[in-house]
Amino acid sequence: MVMGVKTLNLWTYLIFYIFTVIVKIMAQKQKNLVIVESPAKAKTIEKYLGSDFRVLSSVGHIRAIADDKSSPNGKAIDPARGFATTYVIDPDKQKTVSELKKAAKDSDLVWLATDEDREGEGIAWHLCEVLGLPEKTTNRIVFHEITKPAIEAAIENPRKVDMKMVEAQQARQILDRLVGFELSPVVWRKVPGGKSAGRVQSPAVRLLVEREREIQKFDSKFEFKVSAIFTHAGKEIKATLDHSFPTEAAAKKFLESLIDAKFTVADVSKTPAKRTPPAPFTTSTLQQVANSRIGLSARATMTAAQRLYQSGKITYMRTDSLNLSGQFLSAATKFITQEFGEKYHQIRTFKTKSAGAQEAHEAIRPTNVTTETAGHSETEKKLYKLIRARTLATQMANAEIEKTVVKITTDSGATFEATGEVVLFDGFLKVYGERKDEVLPSLSVGDKLVGREITARQNFDRPPARYTEGSLVKELEKRGIGRPSTYATILSTIQTRGYAERGLNEGTEREAIELKLRSGKIARSIITEKTGADKGKLVPTDIGMTISDFLTDYFKQVVDYDFTAEVEKELDDIADSKLERNKMLSDFYGPFHKLVEKSDSIKREKVAEMRKLGTDPKTKLPVFARIARFGGVVQLGDGDGDDKPRFAPLPDGARIDTVTLEQALTMLQLPRLVGKTDDDQEITANIGRFGPYIKVGSLFISIKPPLTPFDIDEKTARQLYAEKLAFEKAKNIADFGDIKVLNGRFGPYVTDGKKNAKIPKDTDPKKLTEAAARKLLSEAPAKKSARRGRQAKR
């Protein structure tokens, strides 16, 4: 009996122990797992959800299309099998995927909260596939802003993964992969310096090239425009003549007729006018205005906007909708009336013009209109201020303007016109836009004016303006090329590929004639003005122009504007269940693949023909301009004889089709012997891929303006060489043969040329042993061959 009681007590204890363990495990198991795209977004969302929720990040895409070698039948994408696609987990995401799998297994419910666009939907589907989540039952939530009410509303209204939107994302990715992987090798073989061709980047380059050719062909004409400064009761009135003159002689004759002329006010008209606020920001308009107002590139704008979104300060930044939620309109109404008064408020709704825009989405706006500043960096703060001001302005009253036009006539019948503008009520200009009052003095019909100074100036017609990043985005959107999520990628890609670059040219001086009538005498002078400046504008490179011409000649489909826009529309149609994915892919791929197969017959020398500039008077050899691997060069000799041709880069601002023989001969003076070092090594000066430099042995030292390879002297070159040696000495901490310990931008590190390993802060790099260096290196990840972002390259 005693034994029985002891046994019973033992079993009771065991049951109680097991129960306690189970309770602890259950307590540790979190019921809900929310998966988002970015760690920053995860941190913000986690603040709004209770302890039952755990928020993790996929850090963008977790899978990519595989290489052909590791795919069935040697094809990652198999058109013959309905474009069956093999995906692999990104090597950089193996650890992330393992953590997500474990977290999903330990959770009762998984919520996929990736971004609300096509790419976000694709990521949600890949998460289902990799984590073993049934796509028909797994909760998919979306929100336009990261605020507590928005997150709670999303949790209360989940949906499932939209497979039609996923198919549209797959079609986009497959299409871009097929174009890139089949066309890029053709470009490498046939176009000197060609790096790649993309479905959307190529039409963008074509736009730049066509604009550049318009500028080159532009025939600038001139005319003489006349302006005047009149006075009345001690006040100035600036006016312009209502017509111009084709020649200097005609302009001078007119000024002579005004020497003793009388000037009378013939008419004064005042007209009320209104200025309305612009629409709220979409992705494209935000990029345009941020570029023109605060000088941000499209990529910098999107980076700052993404951070503001992830920290819950603005709504989703990839959108083409102009819609503003009722909740925001109410908040804006309250804020504007309290801050500025009832008369400043005017509720407005905006109609989205884009056919593919989703009205359920919103324009880019602040999540809390009362928050005046937001963001960590200065760029983020400036961008937030711009977004907030623009959004507030959309809900404010029109500005009321009074425009005044004064007509001034001479006794010979000529008419000058002076205009003024006064803001009677500033309305939305209180927060957004510039208020410019141009006040004219009080004048009445019949008033006599004094002509203090009348000027006839030679004005030249201006060629079409080169695109800025902002204006190129506007043009792409107008033509239906690309989508909100792709504009920044397009602009970044065409620049990193070397097909376009931001201009640095301040312009060249041009003379203009100015005739000035003052105190009854006409004085002629020559003034100078800048023309042809391209600073900050996007300028196509020689390689960009060559590759655009190549694609236009042999792959018109890829650079055709209407075709590219139609593809974007078809992707929208797939998402809307109006078009089958594989039909769209087949219709594109069949004709495209035939062009690729025919490309072997294209002659490389025909694609990039050399332009003969003339003959070198010293060597009697021909001089050419041509495309090389890294861009345009000039070449001395044709290589027909025993001597190899000599090459030199194009001078700044010159192109293959504009460089002159004189410029080429100057550049062919390089490399130039500058002198020798103290230890009798030659110092040569030249211009390379990354700019001007001097070279001593195998050491290259950059030359900074105003120095050039043509004028740097031996003394200066020796000084630069000494400074470089001192820098290299400080940089090299230790050398173990195949492994080195170096000082870098971010502190000391160990490298073997293939891998880098940061040295811990508590370790003295000068005392690091070879064994310790090798251990650090063995534990470090390999260098990434390419940065993988959220967006696939287009």
Residues tagged active-site = 316
Closest of 313, 277, 34, 12 to residue 146, by C-alpha: 313
Cα separation, 294 vs 279, whole angstroms: 19
Note the helical H segments in 107-147: 118-131
Q: Which 3 state secondary structure label does DSSP give 240?
A: strand
Residue identified by tokens 């009348």 is: 454
Contacts of residue 8, defined as CB under 8 A and 6 or more positions apart, other chains included, come to none
- Region of 179 (left: φ > 0; alpha: ψ -120 to 50; beta: rest) is alpha
Cα separation, 73 vs 786, whole angstroms: 26
User: Which two tokens mark 320?
Assistant: 């083409």
E-assigned strands of 58-133? 63-65, 77-78, 84-85, 87-89, 109-112
How many C-alpha atoms does 653 have within 13 Å on its Cβ side? 11
What's the alpha-carbon Rg for the chain, to the nearest Å?
34
Cα–Cα distances (Å) from 73 to 65, 81, 84, 85, 401, in that order, read 15, 11, 11, 11, 71
CB-based contacts of 631-634 (< 8 A; 24+ apart in sequence):
631/193, 631/498, 631/541, 631/542, 631/543, 631/689, 632/541, 632/542, 632/543, 632/656, 632/659, 634/659, 634/663, 634/664, 634/667, 634/668
Cα separation, 664 vs 648, whole angstroms: 8
- DSSP assignment letter at 585: H
Cα separation, 542 vs 564, whole angstroms: 24
Please state the φ and ψ torsions of residue 308, each to the nearest 5 degrees.
-65, -40
Say if residues 624 and 668 touch (Cβ distance below 8 Å): no
Full strand arrangement of the beta sheet holding 691-696? 672-676, 682-688, 691-696, 699-702
Please state the φ and ψ torsions of residue 617, each to the nearest 5 degrees.
-65, -25
